[in-house]
Chain A
Amino acid sequence: MEKENIILSVKDLVIKFKLRGDILTAIREASLDLYEGESLAIVGESGSGKSVFTKSFMGLLDGNGWIDSGSIIFEGEEISKYKREEDWIKIRGKKIAMVFQDPMTSLNPLRSIGKQVQEAVELHQGLKRDEAKKKTIEILKDVGITEPERRYRQYPHEFSGGMRQRVVIAIAIACTPKVLICDEPTTALDVTIQAQILDLLKGLKEKYKLTTIYITHDLGVVANVADRIAVMYAGDIVEIGKCEEVFYNGQHPYTWALLSSLPQLGVKGEDLFTIKGTPPNLFYEIKGDAFAPRNPRALKVDFIHKPPYFDVSPTHKAKTWILDPRSPKVEPPESIKILRAQWEVVSHG
């Protein structure tokens, strides 16, 4: 695993926003290494900072937000200090592209589909007019749009949600990026369409040799597409590891809670597991483990000190005091135990 090439490395990133005079800390010292060619999923509930975190890689934070400290190194270059638009232009699209959540609003309603894709082709592939148009039609075909020549001239309102998302993906592909960030790419779509879009993304990842980051709160999506999972809570990555490791052998109480709330993991006849309480208010300073107040098995230390990463395996680590040797043994919930039993089978044959 260490041999793999790190394409993006985030260290202790802190992102703050100013909202009506109050300062909100959206990302609290989050770190992440992204390997070339992998597919990483960032999961967490809404408001945990998933989108903000990835937007900072492209300098797309809203005007009232800024990187307070920490570093983002992309292909060996420190990009978190970029201030000018000219610097970011080198990254946006060209190196990192993004697919947004809601295809109904991510396209300009007043320009034809073709023009919007072609804009990216001309910008990043150095092609002009007819050549660019040919390339555009090729890409539209690539993302599964039938009759691309006719569709080229149509406007977004003539497309269904799934088709629009294909166009958004086409725009991202047209930029020929190295990293593709998919921000909840299927959340706004019908269940039947979701699988198609995920398959399409998987196929494109292979074809164009992309590194992909999925942002999602849907663990079903994760299982389908990701090599690794990063669990985000209140602006920090509390656990990260290979897909199976996090799924079957999760360590952080928040990961447990997240997994337990999956309906398919519920024990028949028992109430569905829900996470009690609400995520912390990011306007206040958070002390210790952010999840502690909602964790029924929290330790005293959780309320005072922020846990560091504890290695579970060379590829798996979690920020929780439970992993400290001094900690008393904490029993995971029933459903997690069942998963762990399966894990024994998966990992040891």
Chain B
Amino acid sequence: MIKYSIKRLLQSLFTLFIIVTIVFLLMRLLPEEGYFGASYDKLDEQQKEAILTSMGLRDPIHKQLGSFYKKLLEGDLGQSITFRPKVPVAEIIKDKIPYSLYFGLAAIGISLVAGVSLGIAMAMGKGKMWDKLGTGYVVFIRAVPAAVYFLFLQLYLTSVFKLPILFDIDKPISWILPTISMSLGGIASYAMWIRRYMVDELNKDYVKLARAKGLKGRKIMIKHVFRNAFVPMAQYLPATILFTIAGSIYIESLYSIPGMGGLLVEVIKRQDNTLVQALVLIYSSIGIVGLFLGDILMAIFDPRINLEKKGGAR
């Protein structure tokens, strides 16, 4: 188990390293105007050259990369160019994290509880009303672009329930709609996966044996089917994190929540390269951590994984 975790962790770190490198190199492909902000037109060639040199952008690429890694390790993500010129990126993002964290975690929590419950209800009454309603919901959420239903939810629910249209930190009531909107995708995914895995498990021989030994249907569901269906699902936990990331980009800017997602939309519009780079790296890291956690969870639940690595007795 420990050996597996370490191996998996090293793999994640390696991926992170590759991503940092690729992102850095790709960002170098961007036109150089991006490094000057509003002052670009006022400067002559010499001044521009001087600024670029002082930023280290005239060094050979491997040297730039080296210093980039070094700064990253110190937590230095560079300085904002156009969004809030000269302010360290880390400082800007630091203020945004709590909002994104709150909405992200709340959304994941809600999707887990609601999605798993819906999925169980669907699997147990396969082909009945809950299953049909749930399937309709899953199809809708997964097929239709999130922006479309996010917009309509904001448009109509705020007027029906007299909710504020924009986020206001002092009015908790304004937090409800963004949180729920962000959970919708996760609920659909969890419901779909749990249902699929439970139905798969229900057709397995060991469930037939459990029935044959006289176990009641509900007990089989809880003790055998749900537990076993949850294991492959554990690895999808990170997928909801990714879902939530995409959702947060929409939701935070739609409701003007001062989080990282809204920031990303803002800095893309302002062409702030260092901030875009930093946010892309942060989001990738979240994705990597999520997948890592998913695999570890899976290994904890499933006794086969670590033992198969050792080639266990057959």
> Hey, which bits of chain A sit against chain B, CB under 8 A?
58, 60, 85, 89, 91-94, 97-98, 100, 102, 105-111, 119-120, 123-124, 155, 157-160, 168, 171-172, 174-175
Contacts and interface: CB of A to CB of B under 8 A. Distances in A.
B215 A158 contact: no
Among B208, B212, B217, B302, max chain A CB count under 10 A is at B212
B307 interface: yes
A60 to B, nearest CB: 6
Contacts, number: 87
A89 B216 CA distance: 7
30 contacts: A58-B212, A60-B211, A85-B216, A91-B214, A93-B214, A93-B215, A97-B213, A98-B209, A100-B205, A102-B205, A105-B205, A106-B205, A106-B209, A109-B304, A110-B231, A110-B302, A111-B223, A120-B213, A123-B214, A123-B215, A155-B303, A155-B304, A157-B304, A157-B312, A158-B312, A158-B313, A171-B209, A172-B213, A175-B213, A175-B214
B228 interface: yes
B210 interface: yes
Given A110-B231, A159-B313, A172-B213, 12 more contacts: A58-B212, A60-B211, A60-B212, A85-B217, A91-B214, A102-B205, A107-B209, A110-B304, A123-B214, A155-B303, A155-B307, A160-B313
Interface size class of B (residues with CB under 8 A): 20 to 34
A157 B310 CA distance: 12
B275 to A, nearest CB: 46
B231 to A, nearest CB: 6
Given A155-B304, A157-B312, A108 B217 contact: no
Contact of A92 (B214, B228, B314): B214
B214 A89 contact: yes
B224 interface: yes
Nearest to B228: A110
Nearest to B207: A108
A164 to B, nearest CB: 10
A215 to B, nearest CB: 14
B206 A105 contact: yes
Contacts of A158: 307, 312-313
Nearest to A110: B228
Interface in B290-313: 301-304, 307-308, 312-313
A171 B213 CA distance: 7
Contacts of B301: 110
B42 interface: no
A111 B206 CA distance: 11
Contacts of B314: 157, 160
A5 B228 CA distance: 43
B204 interface: yes
B307 A93 contact: no
B70 interface: no
